[in-house]
Structure 1
Amino acid sequence: MAAEFAAKNLHENIKDQLMMMTSGESEKKNIEEAVKNGYLMTDKNFLKEGISGGTCCLTALIQDHSLVISNAGDCRAVMSRRGVAEALTSDHRPSRKDEKDRIQTLGGYVDCCRGVWRVQGSLAVTRGIGDGNLKQWVIAEPETKVLKIKPDCEFLILGSDGLWDKVSDQEAVDAARPLFMDVDKSDVLSACKQLVDLSIKRGSTDDISVMIIQLGHFVSW
Structure 2
Amino acid sequence: MGAEAEIVCPKSVPNLDTVLSCSQLDIMTPDAVSDNSLASTMLQFVPNIRSGSFADIGPRKYMEDEHIRIDDLSVQLGSLFRCPKPSAFYGVFDGHGGSEAAAYVRENVMRFFFEDVSFPEASELDEIFLEGVENCLRRAFFLADLALADDCSISTSSGTTALTALVLGRLLLVANAGDCRAVLCRKGEAIDMSQDHRPTYPSEKRRVEELGGYVDDGYLNGVLSVSRALGDWDMKLPKGSASPLISEPELRQIILTEDDEFLIIGCDGIWDVISSQQAVSIVRWGLKRHDDPEQSAKDLVNEALRRHTIDNLTVIIVCFSSIDHQREQTGPRPRRFRCSLSAEALSSLRSLLEGNESH
TM-score normalised by structure 2 residue count = 0.56
Q: Say whether 1:174 aligns with 2:276.
A: no
Q: Say whether 1:39 aligns with 2:141.
A: yes
Cα distance in structure 2, aligned partners of 1:25 and 1:192: 34
Change (3 A) 1:17 1:148: farther
Match of 2:170 among 62, 65, 68: 65
Q: Deviations over 1:132-155 (max 9, x none)?
A: 012222111100112111111100
How far the C-alpha of 1:212 sits from its partner, in A, is: 0.6
Structure 2: where are the runs of 5+ without partners? 1-99, 237-242, 323-359
Structure 2 contact 121–129 (Cα < 8 Å) conserved = no
Structure 1 contact 11–38 (Cα < 8 Å) conserved = no
Match in the other structure for 1:74? 179
Cα distance in structure 2, aligned partners of 1:74 and 1:131: 15
Instruction: Work out the number of aligned pairs and report it.
Output: 212
Q: Deviations over 1:61-117 (max 9, x none)?
A: 1112211111100000001101111111000000111111111111111121xxxx0
Structure 1 contact 76–158 (Cα < 8 Å) conserved = yes
What percentage of residue pairs aligned between the two structures are identical?
34
Match in the other structure for 1:12? 111
SS in structure 2 of the partner of residue 4 of structure 1: helix
Cα distance in structure 2, aligned partners of 1:138 and 1:57: 14
Counterpart residue identity of residue 221, structure 2: Q
Counterpart residue identity of residue 84, structure 1: E
How far the C-alpha of 1:207 sits from its partner, in A, is: 1.0
Q: Say whether 1:2 aligns with 2:104.
A: no
Change (3 A) 1:155 1:18: farther
Structure 1 contact 2–130 (Cα < 8 Å) conserved = yes
Counterpart residue identity of residue 141, structure 1: E
How far the C-alpha of 1:17 sits from its partner, in A, is: 5.3
RMSD: 2.1
Q: Deviations over 1:139-188 (max 9, x none)?
A: 11100112111111100000000000001111111111123349xx7201
Q: Say whether 1:131 aligns with 2:219.
A: no
Cα distance in structure 1, aligned partners of 2:177 and 2:316: 17
TM-score normalised by structure 1 residue count = 0.89
Match in the other structure for 2:258? 151
Cα distance in structure 2, aligned partners of 1:18 and 1:122: 32
Match of 2:132 among 30, 33, 39: 30
Counterpart residue identity of residue 173, structure 1: V
How far the C-alpha of 1:13 sits from its partner, in A, is: 1.2
Match in the other structure for 1:83? 188
Match in the other structure for 2:32? none
Match of 2:221 among 114, 120, 123: 120
Structure 2 contact 183–264 (Cα < 8 Å) conserved = yes
Counterpart residue identity of residue 274, structure 2: V
Counterpart residue identity of residue 249, structure 2: P
Q: Say whether 1:212 aligns with 2:311.
A: no
Structure 1: where are the runs of 5+ without partners? none
Bigger shift: 23-32 or 204-213?
23-32
SS in structure 2 of the partner of residue 68 of structure 1: strand
SS in structure 2 of the partner of residue 133 of structure 1: coil
